Amino acid sequence: MKTRPDCMTDDRGDHVHNPLTRFFDELTVGDTFVTRRRTITEADVVQWCTLTGDFFPLHLDYVYARESFFGKPIVPGLLVYAYCGGMWSPTDGTAVIAAYGIETLRFVKPVFIGDTVQAELRVEELRSRDNEKGVVVLGIEIHNERETVIVARQLASLRRTPTGEG
């Protein structure tokens, strides 16, 4: 990843903030953002499985997992995506109206307990809706310390810069 955590660069290489903290018309296709990192623990997996009811043995049964294709338990892909989503979600609600959907989501490599994950977001497309809002399409790659583990295209509905500002 080329940019420092919690910072975004525009097409000129200037550092700017998380795209979801900016208004729709402040974004440029090609802007990128790298989140902070987070290590996935066994407690995370147990809590996730308890909360969601996902007790698939590949996540929790070490004997079953050892005999599987992966050789050890894997972290649920949706847990990884959700945790990274928390890392890129803004703490204020100024620009974001709502999550608008996920066009694609692929779990391309396994994540194991103890892996540290980080996401890189890229503004891939800007879809104008009206004078008040637009939709940003984000290309998302989630990496552990070895490789890309998840790829996705997520959409968010954003407000335009309020009149008289920006």
pLDDT digits (tens, 9 = 90+) for 39-68: 999 999 999 999 999 999 999 999 999 999
| Mean pLDDT of the region 119-129 | 95
Question: Would 22 be classed as within a structural domain?
Answer: yes
Collapsing DSSP to helix, strand or coil, 64 comes out as helix
* CATH code of residue 119: 3.10.129.10
| Mean pLDDT of the region 110-125 | 97
Question: Would 88 be classed as within a structural domain?
Answer: yes
Q: What is the total count of domains within the chain?
A: 1
Question: Would 55 be classed as within a structural domain?
Answer: no
Q: Contact 142/119 with Cβ under 8 angstroms? A: yes
Domain with 108 in it: 7-40+84-159
Question: Would 68 be classed as within a structural domain?
Answer: no
Collapsing DSSP to helix, strand or coil, 88 comes out as helix
Question: Would 164 be classed as within a structural domain?
Answer: no
Question: Would 26 be classed as within a structural domain?
Answer: yes
Question: Would 166 be classed as within a structural domain?
Answer: no
pLDDT digits (tens, 9 = 90+) for 125-159: 999 999 999 999 999 999 999 999 999 999 999 99
Tokens, residue 53 = 């009811």
Strand segments, DSSP code E, in 4-43 are: 7-9, 15-16, 32-34, 38-39
- Closest by CA to 85, choosing from 9, 42, 8, 142, is 142
